[in-house]
Amino acid sequence: MSGHSKWATIKRKKGALDAKRGKLFTKLIKELTIAARDGGSDPSGNPRLRLAIDNAKSANMPADNIERAIKKAAGELEGATYVEVTYEGYAPAGIAVMVEAVTDNKNRTVAEVRHLFSKGGGNMGESGSVSWMFDRKGVITIEKQGKSEDDMMEIVLDAGADDLQTEDEYYTIQTSIEAFEPVRRTILDKGLTVENASIQWVAKNMVNVAGEDAEKIMKLIDNLEDNDDVQNVYTNADIDESAIA
């Protein structure tokens, strides 16, 4: 599968898959709020909200928290006004980085993200400086759950997926944006558990990095992801697994 990032796999091996539950909940609440505000508070007619609710439930977020975020978006409760912003830049070794953020203060967030790029040995670029190296794709990750690769391939390709890749105990499925929700629903209807499902920036071509460069890139990504306003970080780095501490 061309352009698939190993970052999710690496985070699992590092034991850093959003271990800070409070920070994860903050990101999920922001996504719930944005989805409900932009597409309405009825999940049956709002696929993005339906996905956000499913992801929140998968993270064991209490139902009250989910309901409160949706009500804030609908204006039934007071809350911050969020906007979505995307930043582009370069990490060490010329690695391209896409940063998605949700913020109530764009001036604060752009200053913090620019500082993190600079501190990490990279630099923030202009809009369009690296996005051409990526495609917007649906990405669904599931544990194998006893399904062979042939069986899973048949399920997802029949549902409209583009491709499937096997990594350790996981399958990663790529789809077009249009096919993302039908493929996700098909997987759930088969009784399979989805570990992660989202629309991502997927690199068209990966760049191998190892040694000191890999360590610097991983530290930069960790620092970006640790920022309260940052939702997701994507790169075209194919990290050498020996760099994983």
Please check whether residue 42 lies inside any domain of the structure.
Answer: yes
- d(C-alpha 221, C-alpha 100), whole Å: 12
* 123-125 β-sheet, strand order: 123-125, 83-90, 96-103, 230-235
Is residue 44 domain-shared with residue 145, that is, in the same domain?
no
Please check whether residue 78 lies inside any domain of the structure.
Answer: no
**196 φ, ψ (degrees, to nearest 5):** -155, 140
Give tens-digit pLDDT for 122-148. Answer: 999 999 999 999 999 999 999 888 888
Question: Whose structure tokens read 């989202």?
Answer: 198
* pLDDT band at residue 174 using 50, 70 and 90 as cut-offs: very high
Secondary structure class of 16 (helix, strand, coil): coil
* pLDDT band at residue 11 using 50, 70 and 90 as cut-offs: low
Is residue 108 domain-shared with residue 209, that is, in the same domain?
yes
In order, the DSSP letters of 51-77 are: HHHHHHHHTT--HHHHHHHHHHHTTSS
Is residue 103 domain-shared with residue 153, that is, in the same domain?
no
* pLDDT band at residue 26 using 50, 70 and 90 as cut-offs: confident
Is residue 90 domain-shared with residue 65, that is, in the same domain?
no
* Per-residue pLDDT, 239: 82
The structure tokens listed for 11 are 């985070």
- Residue type present at position 41: S
Looking up residue 47, the CATH number of its domain turns out to be 1.10.10.200
Question: Whose structure tokens read 């009825």?
Answer: 42
- Contact between 215 and 95 under an 8 Å Cβ cutoff? The reply is no
Is residue 176 domain-shared with residue 197, that is, in the same domain?
yes
- d(C-alpha 225, C-alpha 109), whole Å: 13
* Contact residues for 152 (Cβ-Cβ < 8 A; gap 6+): 144, 164, 171
Count of domains forming the chain = 3
Please check whether residue 159 lies inside any domain of the structure.
Answer: yes
Q: What is the enclosing helix (H) or strand (E) of 41?
A: none
What is the chain's mean pLDDT, rounded? 86
Is residue 127 domain-shared with residue 140, that is, in the same domain?
no
Mean pLDDT of 93-103: 95
Is residue 234 domain-shared with residue 115, that is, in the same domain?
yes
Percent of the chain with pLDDT over 70: 87
The structure tokens listed for 117 are 């790029």
Please check whether residue 1 lies inside any domain of the structure.
Answer: no
- Contact between 173 and 139 under an 8 Å Cβ cutoff? The reply is yes
Is residue 190 domain-shared with residue 208, that is, in the same domain?
no
Looking up residue 213, the CATH number of its domain turns out to be 3.30.70.980
- Contact between 195 and 188 under an 8 Å Cβ cutoff? The reply is no
Question: Where among 73, 106, 122 does a domain terminate?
Answer: 73
- d(C-alpha 39, C-alpha 35), whole Å: 6
Is residue 159 domain-shared with residue 213, that is, in the same domain?
no
- d(C-alpha 43, C-alpha 52), whole Å: 9
CA distances, 38 to each of 30, 176, 186 (Å)? 12, 21, 25
Give tens-digit pLDDT for 39-85. Answer: 888 888 899 999 999 989 888 889 999 998 888 887 766 767 888 99
- d(C-alpha 58, C-alpha 47), whole Å: 16
Is residue 23 domain-shared with residue 61, that is, in the same domain?
yes
Please check whether residue 188 lies inside any domain of the structure.
Answer: yes
Listed in sequence order, the DSSP H helices in 41-174 are: 47-58, 63-73, 106-119, 149-159
Is residue 17 domain-shared with residue 65, that is, in the same domain?
yes
Is residue 114 domain-shared with residue 216, that is, in the same domain?
yes
Give tens-digit pLDDT for 199-212. Answer: 999 999 999 998 89
Question: Where among 36, 55, 73 does a domain terminate?
Answer: 73
Domain that includes residue 180, residue range: 135-201
Please check whether residue 89 lies inside any domain of the structure.
Answer: yes
* pLDDT at residue 19 is higher than 90: no
Please check whether residue 226 lies inside any domain of the structure.
Answer: yes
- d(C-alpha 112, C-alpha 224), whole Å: 9
